[in-house]
Chains A and B, each alone.
Chain A
């Protein structure tokens, strides 16, 4: 990857406006998205590197399958590259890309619902590791309904603000808030019962 190419620098106090030279890694998401829309694959690569872990976490925690999560992120990013010309630059790139990958993850769940897979494959992420505290938490997360899981992942793991999560999940902020509250309660309950068992 070419990491230091000639791109404009930000003006003081204006993150999206540039008039000098800077490193690609310092550019804002929206500036990189604009460059990507003009066909700059290096700018898009910067976005991929910036978001791949968060997107993978989102897809993995929703689909509960490493293979499906990898596919969701790959397909989501390719779709984003194809559609980046239609990205509205007044929107947040992060919300846009989360939404694309989340839609792919829900598609996987829909397909799975129509053609149920062996349970072992789906829960393999949680089952083949030592039963430490981390695994307890991830296993407990896996027991939540997908919509509730997505809310927890968006807000508590990835760290989205409530309104951003609402936009990414395509529901009102109030719905995210209530899902989050109920999901945390259920998680606490599951973890408690796991400890006492």
Chain B
């Protein structure tokens, strides 16, 4: 390999003079024909990327906060009263005595220690179908299942819990309250 600087300079001069090759005459026209046929390039505003990143981060933070608050409220309600337990479907459960406003139609609440004497009054057994009042209070074990119209579910559950907390009757039963679907229009009381 030659290292002669003079030779290198001479080569540089010759390369600069002779190395260039003109582009074919139709090249620019062909390129511009294709460029003009293309959709115009859209320049994304420079502020868009950081703004999008900021919005995405904010959404994540809000989602995380909502998630944390839900976990917090679920654990605090599950540590409360165990007098009543509500299950929402087969896969999930929420705290006792708490009735979510969006409870699904299949929700079930278990209320222990309801005074038997209150049952006739609570359920208006005269209008309930299928179960005579004397049978109701002698169910064995001391438990009844009540399927109620969806609209009555929350208020009945509250009244049951209130009766369980304040009633003084010695004879107490466990009430399993089922939220009926849209088709359920009357109370249905059964012994297990």
Contacts and interface: CB of A to CB of B under 8 A. Distances in A.
Given A48-B31, A188-B7, A138 B19 contact: yes
A84 to B, nearest CB: 5
Interface string B1-35: 11110011001101110111111100110111011
Interface string A16-50: 00000000000000000000111101001100110
B134 interface: no
B1 A73 contact: no
Nearest to A134: B18
Contacts of A186: 1
Interface in A119-149: 133-134, 137-138, 141
Interface residues of A, number: 52
Contacts of A45: 28, 32, 35
B41 interface: yes
Q: From DSSP, what is the main secondary structure of chain A's interface residues?
A: helix
Interface stretch (A54-62, A102-110, A166-174): A54-62
Contact of B30 (A60, A74, A83, A84): A74
A70 B23 CA distance: 8
Interface of B: 1-4, 7-8, 11-12, 14-16, 18-24, 27-28, 30-32, 34-36, 38, 40-44
